[in-house]
Structure 1
Amino acid sequence: MTTAAIRPRRSVLYMPGVNQRAMEKAKGLDSDAVVLDLEDAVVPAKKEEALNLVCDQVRAGGYGYREMVIRVNAVGTPWHDNDIAAAVKAGPDAILVPKVEDAAMALGCVDRIHCAGGGPDLWVMIETPEGVANVDAIAAVSGVKVLVMGTSDLVKELRVAAVPDRLPLLYALSRTIIAARRYGLDVLDGVSLDLEDQVAFEASCRQGRELGFDGKTLIHPTQVEPANRVFGPAGNDVEQARRVLEAWQAAESDGRGVAVLDGKMIENLHADQARRVVAFADALASRTNPT
C-alpha cells in the first residue's frame, strides 16, 4: 500500500456557501477536507448567489492540502442540474450530492458530472430509509468514491430519538460501513449538533472510529482538532506498526508464515493493518500547507 492510495479524511468541515468570510477562514483550519455547502446552509432566495460565491472560491484556490468539495442541491430540486454544471467547471476535488436513494440516482449524478466535462469525484449522502436500504447498490456504482452519513435527516426520517449512544442508528451506520468496505470506498460519519459538549463530541468520534468510519463530517471549527486526533494514529500506533512490519518481514525472509512480537502472534492480516497505519501516517506527513 502506498501513500497515493490513501487520502486522509479524518475531519470534513461544512462551510456555508453564502458566507465568504467563513469559506476564507477554512484556509487556516487543519481540516482534511472542506465542503462548501449550497444545500442546507443556503435559503432558496440565496441559492444563485451562493453558487457564484462557492465556484469563485474554489477557482481562486489557496486551500493547500485540503480536499475541496462542493455540496450541491438534491436531485429533483430546481437548482440541482445547474449546480452540477457550474461545480464541475469550478474544478473541486469532489461534488457531494445529498439524499441519494438508489443506484439509478447515483448513476445519473455520475453521468451529469461526465456530461459537464468530468473531473470531480462523486460523494453521496445516505440520509433516508431508501438510501440505507439501497446503499449496497449505490456503493457499487462506478464513479462513487465516498459515502457520507446524513444522520440528522435520518433521525427525522426514521422517527427515532437523537440519543447520545445513537443506538437507533446503529443498523444504518453499520450497513453503510459494510457497503463502503465491500466496494473499497471511504465512509464518513454524520455531524454532531451539540457545540457546547466537547466530551460528548469526542465520545461520538470514538464510537464512529470503533464502528469503522474513516472520519467525521463537522459543522464548527472547534470540532476539527478532536476529530483529527480520534480518527488519526494515536500515541505510538505508527511506531508499533513499523515494529510489526519489521517482525513480519523477518519472518517472511525466514520462510515462516507467522511471527511473534512482544509475545503476540502476527499473521498476514496484522501486517496488512500495520501497512495501512504507516501509509496513513506517511500521507499526513507528505502534505504541505498553502504558501
Structure 2
Amino acid sequence: MSDRNKPPVIDNPWRALRQYTDARIGLGRAGISLPTSEMLEFQLAHARARDAVHFPLDVDRLLEELAALESPQLSAVAPLRLHSQADDRATYLQRPDLGRELSPASSEKLAEPDLATDGYDLALVVVDGLSSSAVLANAVPFLSAFLQDLGQERDDWRLAPLTVVEQGRVAIGDAVGAALKARVVAVLIGERPGLSSPDSLGLYLTWNPRPGLNDADRNCVSNVRPAGLPVEQASQRLLYLLREAFRLKLSGVGLKDRTEEVVVDASSDNRNFLTH
C-alpha cells in the first residue's frame, strides 16, 4: 500500500482491551502523534477533573436530599451544615491541615444543648473533599442503601444527626465524631478525581474517633460510583467493617476487609446479610 493510501490513524491492537477498562490504552497514532480525537478526549477528561476539584458543593441541595431520607434510625435533628477552618477553596487546597479542623462556629454548633446525649453508635459525615460532583452524585444513593441495610442488620443503632462539612478533609470526621461522642464515624468524601473517574466517592470508617488519629487508624472503601463500586456493594462492605469494628473495638490496619471471603445469604432467619 502506498503512503497516499494509508489511513491517517494507525490502530493499536491493544485497543480491544478498552472494553474492560477506562484506562487510556491502545490509543493508536497519527504519524508520531496521538490521534486528534484521543487528544480531545484527554483534554475533556482533564477539564472534568479540574471542575470536580474547584466546583463548589451545592450544600443547600444536598441538605434537602439528606433531610428527605427515610429511616426510623435517623435522628430527629435536621442535617447540620458545618465548615472546616479553611475559609475558601484556595486555602483548602494550599493548607490541608486547616481542612482537618472544624471552624470555631461549627464546634459551637455541635456543642448545642439539643445535641447533648450520652453518645451515639455511629456518626455519618458527608464531606465535599476533592470532588463535589462525587458527593452530589453518590452520597444520597449510598446512604439510602446503607440505611436500609443497617436497619436489616439491627434496629437499635443510635445514629447521630447527619452532618455536611464544607472544605473538609478525611480527618475532620474525627473532630465531628468526638464532638458528638460517637463510637464510630463514617466519612463520605469526594476522592481526588482521576482522568477517568471525576465522580468517585470514598468511605472512611474510624473506631473511637478523636483528634490526632492518622490513616492507619481508618478503613477505606473507595471508588464508589456507577462505573466503579456500586452503592449496594459499598453499603455491604461498610456494614461488614462496622460490625467488625464493634466486635474487635478497633479499626484501621488491625481490621481486615474480608467481604470477598463471605457470601450473601438472603434466606438467613436473623437477616444478617453476610455469613461465612
TM-score w.r.t. the length of structure 2 is: 0.28
Q: More helix by proportion, 1 or 2?
A: 1
Bigger CA radius of gyration:
2
TM-score w.r.t. the length of structure 1 is: 0.27
